[in-house]
Structure formats: structure tokens, C-alpha cells
Amino acid sequence: MEIKKYAICYNKEISHSTDVKNDLLEILQKRGLNADVLDIDNLKTGYEFVFVIGGDGTILKAARFYAKSQTPVFGINLGRLGFLSQSSKENIEKSVDKILKKEFYTEDRIMLESGSYIALNDIVIKGALAGRTSAFSLKINDKPLCDYLADGIIIATPTGSTAYGLSAGGPVVSPHLNAFVIVPICPHTLTARPLVIPDSEKITICGTDPKSKYLFSADGQEFSEFKTEIEIKKSKYSAKLALLNDSEFYSILKNKLHWGISPACIENCSSTK
């Protein structure tokens, strides 16, 4: 299907994003295409393809918004890691030409849902008092499974398994698996380990101290508070990421996270750039 309505979404708070936005707009115009320019804090629907300029946080926000209209988003990285992005600012023109030649595909990524909140990466639960561990109880499909004394709990999608969950000791999960990862943050027991479950399961996190308040965040960008329990399940929406044909999850894992590469090699590679 020919793409007719493009949008460029950018984060003006990120250095050079305005310059990159202008460059992308000029590249599209030279190819006879028009695109609406949107600020990340003022997104609109009605497009068939959206370029997103910024870091992973910007892409997450755009992906959540456009999941409801099933609009593909294509990330151009201006951040540090850029695990969700497909192009650097130096390769924008090549990427645009590949997209126009239909040398890309779209991939649906499962998302989490809790009430009105959705998350592409993860939902994180912590106690309201910073610097203190909290007591949590975990239920799967309303059946009690275990109790945690920990700094918090991460519920991650396969997409989010390479983010906070990985830093907390969780596994990397292929985005092609229909699963969720439950990772306790700094648990005060050696028997608390990350858990991988089917995405059809309902997860309930209970705060076991009735006097305490608990916080949860969706993708580290939307926050709320609860006192007793919170239910998390697979969202009815899925994020639609536009990926170039030469993209492959394991190559991204190796190149961006330096998977399986010794520290000496990483240092040598960095020094030659």
C-alpha cells in the first residue's frame, strides 16, 4: 500500500532535534512528499507513517500514542543507546529511500495494560518512600505465588526486557515471544529470581502493608499511586514498529548492547571511532 500521509514527530528538548527534523523534512520534500511536523507533547492521529526523532523515551511515547491507531513508527536516534531506533541522523537519507522502496516491514509488539495506562517497555512498582525496601505479594491468575521484600518489581514485555529489566538481572527475551518477565529489584532473598510467563496470564501485585503507599510507572513516563493492589495484563493494543529489511534482533543485540563482546574489544572499538 502506498503511504500518503507522513508525520515527523520530534522532541525539541533533545539537542539537534530541530536540525534533524529540518533535514528530514527537506529530504522528503525533494522526493515530492509532504509531512506534518508534530511535537512529542502534541501528537495527532490521521497519518499512515510516522518518523520519530529522539531517544528511546521519545519513541516509547510516540509508539504508545500511535498503537491505538495502528500507525507504524520509525525511530531516528538522537539519544544514547537507541535500541528502538532504526536509523542514525547520519543515515536518514538512506533510510528514507529504503522506506520509499518498501524495503521495510512492520512488527507488532505486545504491550502491558493496567487500568487506563499502557506500556511498551515495562510497568514498575515501588514503595512510595524512596530508599526503603517494600513488601509485595505476587499473584498469577488470582493464585498467590510468592512474597517479595525488595526495592520494587518490574513487569516487562519482550521489548522492555533489554531495558530496566536487564539492568536488574532479568533475561533478554526475543520480541517474537508472547511472554512477560517479572523481575524483582534488589530482593532481600536468594530465592527470588526473574520469572518468564505467558502473556495470557493476569498479574496482580499486592502491597502487604496497609499503612504504606505504592507507586507504579508505565515506561518510566506515566505515574500513579495505589494502596492495596494493581492488576497488569496484556493490552488490547500493540505497538507497530517500522523496521528496515536488514534489521534483525540478534544483530541489534550484538551491535548496540555489545552482547558477548569482551570489555577490551568494546574499548578498542570505541577508541577508533
Output the CA angle 61-63-68, nearest 5 degrees.
110
Options 3.30.390.30, 1.10.10.10, 2.60.200.30, 3.40.190.10; CATH of 113-236: 2.60.200.30
Domain ranges of the chain: 6-111+238-271, 113-236
Residue 79 — very low, low, confident or very high, per pLDDT cuts 50/70/90? Answer: low
Report which residue type is found at 212.
S
The contacts of residue 244 (CB under 8 Å, 6+ apart) are: 86, 87, 95, 98, 99, 103, 104
Name the CATH code of domain 6-111+238-271 (choices 1.10.645.10, 2.40.50.100, 3.40.50.300, 3.40.50.10330): 3.40.50.10330
Q: How confident is the model at residue 113 (pLDDT cuts 50, 70, 90)?
A: very high
**What does the pLDDT read at residue 263?**
59
pLDDT of residue 132: 81
Q: Is the pLDDT of residue 69 over 80?
A: yes
Q: What is the arithmetic mean of pLDDT over 181-196?
A: 92
The Cβ of residue 215 has, within 10 Å, a number of other Cβ atoms equal to 17
SS3 151: coil
Catalytic site positions: 56
The 10s digit of each residue's pLDDT in 200-240 is: 999 999 988 777 889 999 999 999 998 889 999 999 999 99
Residues 6+ apart with CB under 8 A from 101: none
- Unique residue bearing C-alpha cell 512492520: 106
What is the mean predicted confidence (pLDDT) over 126-142? Answer: 88
